[in-house]
């Protein structure tokens, strides 16, 4: 994470390392199932909203992120994360469709 998914931003004359969009997505995707298991649905909602917002605004390629996660999640968990992100993508598509119809 620290080498591949970090960028530097300048804040008040100081360089601060920050996660990239892909880095944020990886962190949130990895944590999401743990939050489900804990029954922390308020936090699940926040994480899913964060993921949806990043996906909608930046449209990152997801396959490389799944490849990055695969050594760290078992096959069942990885598939569960894929399903969650598929549902989020469907919501984004519905939003775009409704937005386009309103124009």
What does 12-56 look like in DSSP terms, one character per residue?
Answer: TTEEEEEE-HHHHHHHHHHHHHHHHHHT-HHHHHHHHHHHHHHHH
pLDDT in tens, 48-103: 999 999 999 999 999 999 999 999 999 999 999 999 999 999 999 998 887 788 76
Chain centroid to Cα 62, Å, comes to 9
* pLDDT-based confidence at residue 1 (cuts at 50, 70, 90): confident
**Cα radius of gyration (the chain):** 15
Of 56, 78, 58, the closest CA to residue 67 belongs to: 78
């Amino acid at each position: 994470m620290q080498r591949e998914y970090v960028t530097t931003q300048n804040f008040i004359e100081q360089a601060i390392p920050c996660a990239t969009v892909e880095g944020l997505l990886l962190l949130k995707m990895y944590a999401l199932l743990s939050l489900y298991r804990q029954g922390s649905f308020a936090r699940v909602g926040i994480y899913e909203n964060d993921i949806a917002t990043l996906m909608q605004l930046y449209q990152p390629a997801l396959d490389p992120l799944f490849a990055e996660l695969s050594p760290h999640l078992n096959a069942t968990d990885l598939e569960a994360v894929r399903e969650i992100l598929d549902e989020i993508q469907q919501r984004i598509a519905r939003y775009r469709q409704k937005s386009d119809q309103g124009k």
